[in-house]
Chains A and B, each alone.
Chain A
Amino acid sequence: MEIAVSREVSFRRLASGSYWRVALVATAAVLSVPVLVIVASLLQPYSSAWQHLADTVLGDYLTNSALLMLGVGVGTFLLGVSAAWLTAMCEFPGRRFFTWALLLPMAIPAYIIAYTYTGLLDFGGPVQSALRDTFGWGYGDYYFPEIRSLGGAICMLSLVLYPYVYLLVRVAFLEQSTAVLEASRSLGKTPWQTLFQVALPMARPAIVAGLSLALMETLADYGTVEYFGVSAFTTGIFRTWYGLGELGTAAQLSAVLLLFVFVLIVLERWSRRRMRFHHHAAQAEPSRIQLSGVRAALAFGLALTIFSFGFLLPAGQLSVWVVGSWQSGASENFLNLVVNSFALAAVAALACLALALLLGYGKRLHPGSVEQGAVRISSMGYAVPGTVIAVGVLIPFAWLDTAIDDLARQWFNVSTGLLLSGTLFALVFAYVVRFLSVSLQSVEAGLAKIRPSIDESARSLGRSPGGVLRDIHLPMLRGSLLTALLLVFVDVLKELPTTLILRPFNFNTLAVRTYELASDERLAEAALPALAIVAIGLLPVILLTRSITRETPTDEGTGVG
């Protein structure tokens, strides 16, 4: 009797553990298919199209992508670090406002800011028109920089990606012990010398992490470079697939792009590990350098310039266009677009959340190395450009469709056609691969705040494991779960290349419609869906600003004492 009970107990423990393990490993396996397909494509035979690419445009792709990364790297570094230094370490009029306002450019997808500036700065735009009217110039009388160029793309991407650097470096500055900075001042260094000799070197890990995130976004960008006619990897992949119909070559091209991404991942991981070593307890309020007179005006001017070019001007121009084109009937299908986009984003957000909970709980309950590895692999997608994931989804789904079709013909003599590719299922799957890490981060952060002693305490007060979930975890996690939903929702809404490649025929979203209208040079009509994306994109940024303006980057845990 006793022995029978014993076996059952140990069997049940074992069984529940291995169920979790199977679930986690299966999830990781399925989610890693797109990336594996891309990597495996390197082993496939190289078609003549590849040879053609290598002879003609591959060099361009490499040079342009490298120049783009270099330019955006420098741009985001300059904008991000100066914004962080001003708002974290200096005191000037408007500092509190700029602390959160400087995050707002994050809400604007790069392709939207690109359309907006094109509308502002091209020959027929308000800026050049005003110049001509003022000075009486005609066409060709004057030099004006061409926005639709590599340099223009660098400016656009820098303007919306610098907040990654700003966010991380600002926190790093705030966490630096005031004593270290004061020690530098007491040893005779000016604030400028302190910045360059102490504060910046100490913030290096944060700078590297922020830059690698910004550069990942740069590599993933399709809309901006395509619109500006810059041949980069993402546009090359598109052209190879849509123009040449060479899916295999597109995958091989994607694999080369993945190589760049891999370097960035390693860089980011490495710098984040360094950050942990350098983590100091945050102090209540850093002693800021008081700026006054000309220097305060300069600081204010710089912050205002970044904010204006990154957010105020483009958002303002979009609004002007929307108001101007309101009557023209461009909004006939707008409601339809909103419904499509919202439904799609909501489904993807829920799917991500469900998987994130599965992975998060599996890891919490059975923190083995297999489980940890599964979670890590499942969250790799955040670094992989949407274009690459789309190609990686397209290939296995097409293969599966053909296989099913063949079988159906063989057995039932019917053709099933395309069951999976070109459906919303394929699209949602791609979103999950790309954005799962976003919700996983939220869920894991929420779970980490619930110390194991909280679970045990509820158990000792008579709650079953299910009761603990209902009475303790769900209420404590509510915020994290909502954040996870919101972040994925917005990311899906903004995502352009994945949607473009995988959407079902004639299925339009806000992002796709914006892109199509802008490509047709109907910028004013593109403004309405674009502004909708920006408005919704503001939600998570507001969420961020709320946590950032609490000034000190402390955990909102339930610290003892």
Chain B
Amino acid sequence: MAEPLQLNNVSVRYGDFTAVIEVSLRLEAGHIGCLLGPSGCGKTTLLRAIAGFEPLAAGSISLGERQISDPGQLVPTEQRNVGMVFQDFALFPHLSIAGNVGFGLSGMDRAEREQRISAMLELVSLEGTQSAYPHELSGGQQQRVALARALAPGPELLLMDEPFSSLDRDLREQLAVEVREVLKRAGVTAILVSHDQQEAFTLSDQVTVINAGRVAQTDTPYALYHNPADRFVAEFIGQGSIISVNADTQGKLSHGLGTLTPEQLSNYGQSNLGLLVRPDDIKYSARSEVQLKVLSRAFRGANFMYELALPNGQAVSCLTPSHVNVAAGELLPVQFDLQHLVLFEAEG
């Protein structure tokens, strides 16, 4: 049922403004992909192009063997067999839950239809809500109805536009886990648009970071965090700072931050390097001789997030257990624990 989705050099233009620039992407059948980026980066436009709501200026989109979009041809949305979950859910207020979920089911007899509707509601754990109306349900329940409705016709591809953004923070994470389970059980290929990396990481197999209309990097969540392809991805994904460092001839960095591999040394040179330091790269170590001045700190319950000053004044952050209680202005003993070094060309 599920088909791989393929985007080749897709561009989308609004008048003179190019919202999506030469995006290429492949998503395997049954996988969940995410388009992640700050607002206005073109991720929603790209999703709408896949849905068939926006024509392409260049490139092509195909689903399995079938080419569904290129600049000359736009298969109408209703003929694409894609399901879509909208940011505001877009439930039909004049139809019951059964009416909503059954809306896309055609060519079925009554019994078949009812069976499919209850199967879908069961899938999203909303059994017995058939005769309710959308406004009678909570936000989280409406979200699941929207999902059931989109999945009911058995789409080849499911598209979700910021599906959790109108929900409470707590509800969001819980639903993301549930939705992933539902999608995996249904075996559907899905693409989600998000600006929330937590949501993206929880839900997807593959994340595409988009910056100003272009693909910055497509990878697994793990690889994105640990091997960001450029400064943008490094700063957008996770926390951390890029500090400028110098290496000696052996590639050794000061303060025991680590040692460059020979390839890195030949690629980036010795001086003026940008090094990515994540909060979990710096560990509290009571006996360490490296003591950094605390600039500020934020208590988060399970842990402290410290902002520390390196001897040359550059700021880095450090995550410690919650009982490590050092006031601003005092010194915190730490140990650098960079498993591998992520380097960038120094900035301008």
Contact = CB atoms under 8 A, between A and B. Distances in A.
A461 B149 contact: yes
Interface stretch (A155-163, A450-458, A543-551): A450-458
Interface string A388-399: 000000000000
Range, interface on chain B: 35 or more
A450 B83 CA distance: 20
Given A453-B86, A456-B77, A457-B84, A476 B93 contact: yes
B115 interface: no
Interface string A455-479: 0111111111001000110011000
A558 B78 contact: no
A559 B142 CA distance: 11
B135 interface: yes
B72 interface: yes
A475 B55 CA distance: 30
A446 B142 CA distance: 22
Grouping DSSP codes into helix (H, G, I), strand (E, B) and loop, the A interface class, with mixed when no group exceeds half, is: helix
Interface string A320-357: 00000000000000000000000000000000000000
Given A453-B88, A560-B139, A561-B167, A463 B78 contact: yes
Given A464-B76, A476-B93, A456 B142 contact: no
Contacts of B93: 476, 558
A459 B90 contact: no
Given A459-B76, A461-B103, A472 B87 contact: no
Nearest to A557: B93
B232 interface: no
A43 interface: no
Contacts of A13: 55
A186 interface: no
B91 A558 contact: yes
A3 B72 contact: yes
A5 interface: yes
A318 B142 CA distance: 53
A208 B166 CA distance: 37
B94 A476 contact: yes
A6 interface: yes
Contacts of B104: 460-462
A491 to B, nearest CB: 28
A104 to B, nearest CB: 31
B150 interface: yes
Contact of B74 (A9, A460, A476): A9
Query: Interface residue tally of chain A, by bracket?
Result: 20 to 34
B73 A457 contact: no
B138 interface: yes
A6 B106 contact: no
B14 interface: no
A393 to B, nearest CB: 40
Contacts of A561: 138-139, 142, 166-167
A451 B93 CA distance: 11
B134 to A, nearest CB: 6
Given A460-B83, A462-B106, A560 B166 contact: yes
Contact of A2 (B73, B103, B135): B73
Contacts of A458: 92, 103
A27 B89 CA distance: 36
B51 interface: yes
Contacts of B149: 457, 461
A65 to B, nearest CB: 47
B90 A453 contact: yes
Contacts of B94: 475-476
A454 B92 contact: yes
B153 interface: yes
Interface in B47-103: 51-53, 55, 70-74, 76-80, 82-84, 86-94, 103
Contacts of B78: 459-464, 467
A464 B104 CA distance: 12
Contact of A6 (B72, B91, B103, B139): B72
Contacts of B55: 9, 13
A525 B82 CA distance: 68
Contacts of B79: 462
B90 A457 contact: yes
Contacts of A475: 94
Given A464-B78, A558-B91, A457 B86 contact: yes
Contacts of A460: 51, 77-78, 80, 82-84, 104, 150, 159
A11 to B, nearest CB: 11
A560 B86 CA distance: 12
Nearest to A459: B77
B97 to A, nearest CB: 13
B139 A456 contact: no
Interface in A424-460: 451, 453-454, 456-460
B71 A558 contact: no
Given A453-B90, A472-B92, A560-B139, A9 B82 contact: no
A476 to B, nearest CB: 5
Nearest to B142: A560
A463 B138 CA distance: 27
Contacts of B76: 459, 464
Contacts of A459: 52-53, 76-78
Contacts of A560: 88-89, 139, 142, 166
A474 to B, nearest CB: 10
Interface string B165-187: 01100000000000000000000
A2 B70 CA distance: 10
Contacts of B89: 560
B88 A451 contact: yes
A32 B51 CA distance: 41
B134 A453 contact: no
A472 B103 CA distance: 10
Interface in A62-88: none
Interface centre among B55, B73, B77 (most CB of A within 10 A): B77
B153 A5 contact: no
A457 B77 CA distance: 10
Given A476-B93, A560-B139, A456 B72 contact: no
Contacts of B150: 460-461
Give the 6 A-B CB pairs with smallest separation, nearest first.
Answer: A6-B72, A461-B104, A561-B139, A453-B90, A558-B93, A457-B90
6 contacts: A451-B88, A456-B51, A457-B92, A460-B78, A460-B80, A462-B104
